[in-house]
Amino acid sequence: MDLKEPLAYRIRPKTLEEFVGQEHIVGKDKLLYRTIQADRLSSIILWGPPGCGKTSLAKVISETTKYKFAKINAVTSGVADIKNAVEEADNPLLNPSGKCILFIDEIHRFNKLQQDALLPYVEDGTIILIGATTENPYFEVNKALISRSMVIKLEPLKKENIVQVLKNALTRKDGLGEYNIKISEDTIDTIAEISNGDVRTALNGLEVAVLTTKMNSNGEIEITDEIASQSMNTKKAMFDKKGDSHYDNISAMIKSMRGSDPDAAIFYLARALNAGEDPVFLARRIVICSAEDVGMANPNALVVATSAMEAVRMVGMPEAKLILAEAATYVAISKKSNATYLGINRALEDVQNKDTGRIPMHIRNAAASGMQQFGYGEGYKYPHDFPGHWCEQQYLPDEMLGIKYYVKDENCLDN
């Protein structure tokens, strides 16, 4: 093994037994484990965040299967590379089985034409496709390919999984076992914690720490918490602001505000800012939540949210984080009512699907002289001329009389 290769590459698992984590899919009683062991693999899409083991799992499959294994990266490859893999698979001298496992890393980077080029070969069984993607395949991969593949969701590795991998790396000869390293359990935990489920980040951080630290007087390379933290740089963001987790995080932030949990709302706001989300986008979501979920329980929430959005535009980051946090907190702690949200949706459904009649003549606009003779505005009562600035008067069309769109709940201010 060339020790100049990155640590994460050198210690990749070669068997299912060596594979750490993802027990929900590769545990001994799980479908993928049984499928790989029986060498009855069909096309699969491995979907998960960076550093969760997608490429390593594909490599394990390549070591286990009897079929030829080819790997391409969608960033640097095209249709020609697909055809080359198919030609080799079809060559009885190079590949007596006539089948090939084609691993395509970052398959979401392939455009529609490139993905379409795979279809006939996946369909006739010449290629067993293993696609790896950090993006939601249901959005980024052709439906035809999805329908012919098993989609497997990988999760970020648990902290204990990463600790196990780090300890293995410290003892293996093809890892860091040749170095005299002194590192405490707590420091290993620190590296695992900072990596946020990305084992590649953890291994890279450990390797940087070892290779950049001088030996002490005892001939040891001592890795402290401070050295580990510096080598990891900063806690890795759990998501790409343009990826699938972007939608998960903003959904969690909105649901936290709706659920009146200011701590969770601020937490997901911090995650979004750390990942580089557009602060104006975040402000817009707070504005929407103030109208949809707070509504008439506290109309001032909309004022606060819209003011915050304008302030964010004027101030910019990093100070905008304070404005966003204040607005998100205000919306979260406000009483909630979705009466207006339900009302406008019911009204829209009616105007789109029913005969809702005509506007009563007495509340129509007599925009020009002479229109009154046709009934426009005739008989209209000006509410301010009556006691309490209100009078009995029909506003809805005859066909809609009695309908209720705004149904006040116990939190509405006018209750």
Please name the residue ranges forming H helices in 45-198. Answer: 54-64, 79-90, 112-123, 137-140, 143-147, 159-171, 185-195
Residue 219 shares a structural domain with residue 164: yes
Among residues 122, 153, 184, which one ends one of the domains? 153
Looking at residue 240, its pLDDT comes to 55
- The answer to whether residues 253 and 285 touch, using CB atoms and an 8 Å cutoff, is yes
Q: Quick one: 199 and 317 in the same domain?
A: no
CA within 13 Å, CB half, 407? 9
The domain spanning residue 97 has which CATH number?
Answer: 3.40.50.300
Q: Which residue range is the domain that position 61 belongs to?
A: 22-153
Whether 262 is covered by a domain: the verdict is: yes
Between CA 3 and CA 301 the distance in angstroms is 59
Confidence of residue 237 (pLDDT cuts 50, 70, 90): low
40 and 106 part of one domain:
yes
Note whether 129 and 183 are same-domain residues. no
Instruction: Please say which residue of 333, 354, 369 terminates a domain.
Output: 333
Residues 170 and 206 in one domain: yes
Residues 252-263: tens digit of each pLDDT: 999 999 999 999
The CATH number of whichever domain residue 327 belongs to comes to 1.20.272.10
Work out how many domains the chain is built from and give that number. Answer: 3
pLDDT, mean of residues 241-261: 83
Mean pLDDT of 331-336: 96
* Domain end call among 207, 232, 257: 232
Per-residue pLDDT tens over the stretch 9-68: 888 888 888 888 888 888 777 778 888 777 777 888 998 888 888 888 888 887 777 777
Q: Say if residue 47 is in the same domain as residue 127.
A: yes
Distance CA 92, CA 343 (A): 68
Structure confidence by residue, pLDDT tens digits, 39-48: 777 888 998 8
What does pLDDT average to over the chain?
Answer: 86
Decide if 318 is inside a domain: yes
Considering the chain, what percentage of its residues have pLDDT values greater than 70?
93
Is 135 a domain residue?
yes
Q: What confidence score (pLDDT) does residue 345 get?
A: 92
Extract the tokens encoding 363.
């509340």
pTM value surpassing 0.85: no
My answer on whether 275 and 186 are in the same domain is no
Q: Are residues 110 and 36 in the same domain?
A: yes
Which of the pair, 9 or 302, is modelled with greater confidence?
302
Q: Does residue 392 belong to any structural domain of this protein? A: no
Asked whether residue 137 falls in the same domain as residue 166, the answer is no
